Structure 1
Amino acid sequence: MNEVLQSLQPRLAGIFLHLHEHAEISWQEQQTTQYIANLLREANMEPQMFDDMTGLYVDIGKGVPRVGFRTDIDALWQEVDGVFKANHSCGHDGHMTMAIGTALLLKDMESTLSGAVRILFQPAEEKAEGARALVEKGVIDDLEYLFGVHVRPLKELQDGTYAPALYHGAAKLFTGKIIGEEAHGARPELGINAIEVGAAIVEGLQKIWTDPNVSASAKMTQFNAGGTSANIIPGKATFSIDARAQTNEVMHALTEGIERVKASVEAMYCAKIELQVDAHIVAALVNDEALEHMRAAIIDVVGEVACASPVVTPGGEDFHFYTYEKTELKATMLGLGCGVTPGLHHPKMTFNRERLITGVGIITRAILRAL
């Protein structure tokens, strides 16, 4: 495997460059989907695409796939050097490169595989919608194992070290609208001031108590009220709340707390507050067997010294929705220590691309162990 793996490196470098330079945002990954499909067809594989959405999957080996690997394929929309553009500042270009490399490597050894493998190219991870869409398509129904990968910043993993699991936290993004009553600035008693209602929500969020042993937070991140006239009591406002928790149980408690704050502030001010969840990312549900397969794969490929402990991170990942929906699925994510700097989602994010080929080796070894 090592000889074939090394021969792939120049080709994967070119694939990465293409993906990096042709980034596409969530649900608009048409060219990315087609590019990957063409690569797989050229390697005598039969990619399966969807009629109503981007993304694809491919099966390698005989029989019903029981082991899978998933990569995300979308990019962020952000300002880079003064211009807004699709930008791979979360490492999905690297993740796709490793997934393609793994598919090519498995195809080369297809005759020796003891079962079938499914490689998933998932859209819309950044919107926390892609995993749910693939679950609804039924593409994980027969899987027993599912592996993933994510590049990690130096703050979490040193360059050249690899973690067998990533314990991402849960996240919920709420948007809301306050409907009060406008009034003249000289007659505040006749109005319901949307700014004061918003301030009460902020104060209420600070009084939500959850398990102190589990990190969690809920804070208002956007608030818009009032117009250009300073002598009008504003009656309407819009706002956003970002909620984070390291476990799904604490996120549930945090959500209940936010709902209590909403209800109590409505009653206190006689205002109407509309609140909805725009995105929900669940916390990691890591399976011990999958973790041990990944740990053994890391040690097989790079040795025990380069095998780091599982990483606990406050960031969120759509990958964990698969195990949230299918609790019997055995899953874990490889943490790729590749010197990400200045950090994930920074417009100038960069990392050591030489670690991608090592990632291919570890992922492939974990898949073979699970088979």
Structure 2
Amino acid sequence: MNQVLPNLQPRLAEIFTHLHEHPEISWQEKQTTKYIANLLKEAQMEPQLFEDMTGLYVDIGKGTPSVGFRTDIDALWQEVDGEFKANHSCGHDGHMTMAIGTALVLKDMEHLLPGAVRILFQPAEEKAQGARAFVDKGLIDPLEYLFGVHVRPLKELRDGTYAPALYHGAAKLFTGTIIGEEAHGARPELGINAIEVGSAIIEGLQKIWTDPNVSSSVKMTQFNAGGTSTNIIPGKATFSIDARAQTNEVMESLTDGVERVKASVEAMYGAKISLTVDAHIVAALVNDEALQHMNSAIVDVVGESACTPPVVTPGGEDFHFYTYERPNLKATMLGLGCGVTPGLHHPKMTFNRERLITGVNIITRAILRAL
């Protein structure tokens, strides 16, 4: 493996450049899927694609795979220099590059592998839907271990340091509609003011109690009501609620609280309120054995001084849905300290690409340890 890695660096730079310059948003990663599949085929691998969705996976080694590595492949849709476009500002281009590099290294040493490995190229992470789709297809069912990776901002990890686990928080995004009753501004008693109903929801959200020892928040982030006439009491409004919690248990408490607020405000005003969960990202469920394999791999590659404690971060990550749905799966994510600036999801985000080869080395060693 040590002989292969130095020769891989120029290839990884080429792969990253292509992926960075050809971003595609969630569920539209058609060319990305095709590009990765062709690379794997050129390396004498047999990638498996899907007829009904983007993404792919490949197995390396003999027998049923017991260890897996997952990367996300989608980009964000955001404004860059005044133009809305697909943009890799969350590091998925780097994650894909490391996954491809790991696949190439494992393929080169396939005859030495004591078991099989599955590399998963998952779509739609940014919509928190891709992991669920892969679970539904049974792609992780044979796995005992699953590893992932995410580049980290300077606020969390110094450039050139690495964490054996990322404790992401849970997030739940709600959208709702208020149906009240329109009325003339001079006769408010004849209407049900959707804005006042929305105000009561906001007040109720502020009174939801959760465990004060666990970081959490719930707040309204969008509200739309009324037209161009100021003398009409609006009878309809739409809104969004963003809920965050560091644990899944507290997220359940927040969810119950939101439902209670909805019911009480409906009863108070006689309005009808619909509420839908648009996205649910679960908090990290990190396995100690997987964490120790990743910790040892980091120390093997860069030494103890560059190995940091696990990172606790309020951000969310679709990766953790795998362990949420399959609690027996032993999983952790490598935190790659690569100087992400100005920050994740910033339209001009950049990072030290020289760390990608180190990531490949660490990930490969973790996989070999798990095997």
State TM-score, norm by structure 2.
Answer: 1.00
| SS of aligned partner of 1:66 | strand
**Correspondence for 2:350:** 350
| SS of aligned partner of 2:65 | coil
Give the Cα–Cα distance (whole angstroms) in 2 for the partners of residues 140 and 51 of structure 1. Answer: 19
Give the Cα–Cα distance (whole angstroms) in 2 for the partners of residues 176 and 2 of structure 1. Answer: 55
Give 1:192's aligned amino acid: I
Give the Cα–Cα distance (whole angstroms) in 2 for the partners of residues 159 and 322 of structure 1. Answer: 28
| SS of aligned partner of 2:336 | strand
Give the Cα–Cα distance (whole angstroms) in 2 for the partners of residues 268 and 152 of structure 1. Answer: 46
Give the Cα–Cα distance (whole angstroms) in 1 for the partners of residues 224 and 10 of structure 2. Answer: 51
**Correspondence for 1:40:** 40
**Correspondence for 1:316:** 316
Give 1:337's aligned amino acid: G
Is 1:20 paired with 2:23?
no
Give the Cα–Cα distance (whole angstroms) in 1 for the partners of residues 76 and 306 of structure 2. Answer: 31
The aligned runs of 1:177-326 (5 Å cut-off) are 177-326=177-326
Give the Cα–Cα distance (whole angstroms) in 1 for the partners of residues 196 and 345 of structure 2. Answer: 34
Give the Cα–Cα distance (whole angstroms) in 1 for the partners of residues 339 and 308 of structure 2. Answer: 14
Give 2:227's aligned amino acid: G
Give the Cα–Cα distance (whole angstroms) in 2 for the partners of residues 20 and 96 of structure 1. Answer: 10
**Correspondence for 2:362:** 362
How far residue 3 of structure 1 moved from its aligned partner, in angstroms, is 2.2
> What per-residue deviation string (whole Å, max 9, x for no partner) do you get for residues 96-155 of structure 1?
000000000000100000000000000000000000000011111100000000000000
Give 1:230's aligned amino acid: T
**Correspondence for 2:165:** 165
Count of aligned positions: 371
**Correspondence for 2:31:** 31
Give the Cα–Cα distance (whole angstroms) in 1 for the partners of residues 131 and 361 of structure 2. Answer: 25
**Correspondence for 2:327:** 327
Give the Cα–Cα distance (whole angstroms) in 2 for the partners of residues 9 and 137 of structure 1. Answer: 34
> What per-residue deviation string (whole Å, max 9, x for no partner) do you get for residues 146-203 of structure 1?
0000000000000000000000000000000000000000111111000000000000
Is 1:110 paired with 2:110?
yes
Give the Cα–Cα distance (whole angstroms) in 1 for the partners of residues 157 and 269 of structure 2. Answer: 48
| SS of aligned partner of 2:148 | strand
> What per-residue deviation string (whole Å, max 9, x for no partner) do you get for residues 269-321 of structure 1?
11000001000000000000000000000000000000011000000000000
> What per-residue deviation string (whole Å, max 9, x for no partner) do you get for residues 255-276 of structure 1?
0000000000001111000001
**Correspondence for 1:119:** 119
Give 1:83's aligned amino acid: E
How far residue 212 of structure 1 moved from its aligned partner, in angstroms, is 0.3
Is 1:341 paired with 2:341?
yes
Is 1:151 paired with 2:151?
yes
**Correspondence for 1:139:** 139
Give the Cα–Cα distance (whole angstroms) in 2 for the partners of residues 244 and 117 of structure 1. Answer: 34
Give the Cα–Cα distance (whole angstroms) in 1 for the partners of residues 351 and 267 of structure 2. Answer: 51
How far residue 2 of structure 1 moved from its aligned partner, in angstroms, is 1.9
**Correspondence for 1:80:** 80
Give the Cα–Cα distance (whole angstroms) in 1 for the partners of residues 37 and 259 of structure 2. Answer: 45
How far residue 324 of structure 1 moved from its aligned partner, in angstroms, is 0.4
Give 2:287's aligned amino acid: N
Give the Cα–Cα distance (whole angstroms) in 2 for the partners of residues 266 and 176 of structure 1. Answer: 13
State TM-score, norm by structure 1.
Answer: 1.00
> What per-residue deviation string (whole Å, max 9, x for no partner) do you get for residues 227-261 of structure 1?
00001000000000000000000000000000000
Give 1:193's aligned amino acid: N
Percentage of matched positions with identical amino acids: 87
Post-superposition, which runs of at least 4 consecutive aligned residues in structure 1 deviate over 6 A?
none
| SS of aligned partner of 2:3 | helix
Structure 2: state its 5+ residue gaps: none
Give the Cα–Cα distance (whole angstroms) in 1 for the partners of residues 3 and 237 of structure 2. Answer: 62
Give the Cα–Cα distance (whole angstroms) in 2 for the partners of residues 318 and 219 of structure 1. Answer: 22
| SS of aligned partner of 2:337 | strand
> What per-residue deviation string (whole Å, max 9, x for no partner) do you get for residues 34-57 of structure 1?
000000000000000001000000
How far residue 6 of structure 1 moved from its aligned partner, in angstroms, is 1.1
**Correspondence for 2:61:** 61
Give the Cα–Cα distance (whole angstroms) in 2 for the partners of residues 359 and 206 of structure 1. Answer: 42
Give 2:209's aligned amino acid: W
